[in-house]
Structure 1
């Protein structure tokens, strides 16, 4: 008596079927692995992108504080002699640079009699995107401050 075997699906294409085993070739596992990798990269972009935005806000906050410290350096002789409120540029640059130095941040300070400008650059490391070679982001922020009197 001859026994005939019926073939369907992958077995019909030449794959040998073993009793109790599936004809799955692992393509779903490869697809699932691809989805997991994409989801991790998206999570990294969201997490590290959010941290980068927070780092930019922090850099802007530091630049604004340094610019205000510089703008507080009013030229008192101009105020007393002529009643003009203006900034003493040398003292303003020094005050802003000292503020940055106290908190350990480097930056570029320019000052005129009308305003103080501070540019701060901070490097913010990534957490997840390091896995794909993105080690960090450089956050640059610039702030301006002017001398004012009154309430």
Structure 2
């Protein structure tokens, strides 16, 4: 009976190795999704922080003449755009800036290189973050 059991295993040589190869590829893909997905999430959080900081930098371009004359806070859109773009250039980020008289909106786009997913043909994952800011006289209460 021992002889038949050995012969049965020898008859299936090669088939188990193909199964193992497919299983290992599946496990590498799942590990890649976990690792590279976490890196992509961290890149999105970083891009959002950069966009919010750039928007706050742009929101400092207050029209002082209008504020002194009427007490209204409004931005000089060209200066706000320039300050936000200068901040993005200073940290090495790329993005789009939209400035109006009351708001500066910034969207940062970045690409996170993959570690394991590059093995199956996905070299990078895109991440986007956005932020907006408007000028205020001071903080009087917490905003929701």
TM-score by length of 1: 0.83
Q: Which runs of structure 2 are paired with 1:120-131 in the superposition (5 Å)?
A: 120-131=108-119
Q: Which runs of structure 2 are paired with 1:1-151 in the superposition (5 Å)?
A: 22-151=10-139
Unmatched runs of 5 consecutive residues or more in structure 2 = 140-144
Give the match's secondary structure for 2:11. Answer: coil
Supply the distance in 1 between the matched residues of 2:5 and 2:137 (Cα, whole angstroms): 85
Supply the distance in 1 between the matched residues of 2:12 and 2:121 (Cα, whole angstroms): 35
The number of residues matched between the two structures is 137
Unmatched runs of 5 consecutive residues or more in structure 1 = 1-6, 12-16
> Which of the two has greater helix per residue?
2
Q: Which residue of 2 aligns with 1:4?
A: none
Measured after TM superposition, the shift of residue 89 of structure 1 is 0.9
Give the match's secondary structure for 1:22. Answer: helix
Bigger-Rg structure (1/2): 1
Provide the alpha-carbon RMSD of the alignment.
Answer: 2.1
Q: 4+ residue runs of structure 1 moved beyond 4 angstroms?
A: 7-11
Measured after TM superposition, the shift of residue 25 of structure 1 is 2.4
Q: Which structure has more RCO (C-alpha within 8 Å, separation ≥ 6)?
A: 2
Supply the distance in 1 between the matched residues of 2:124 and 2:23 (Cα, whole angstroms): 25
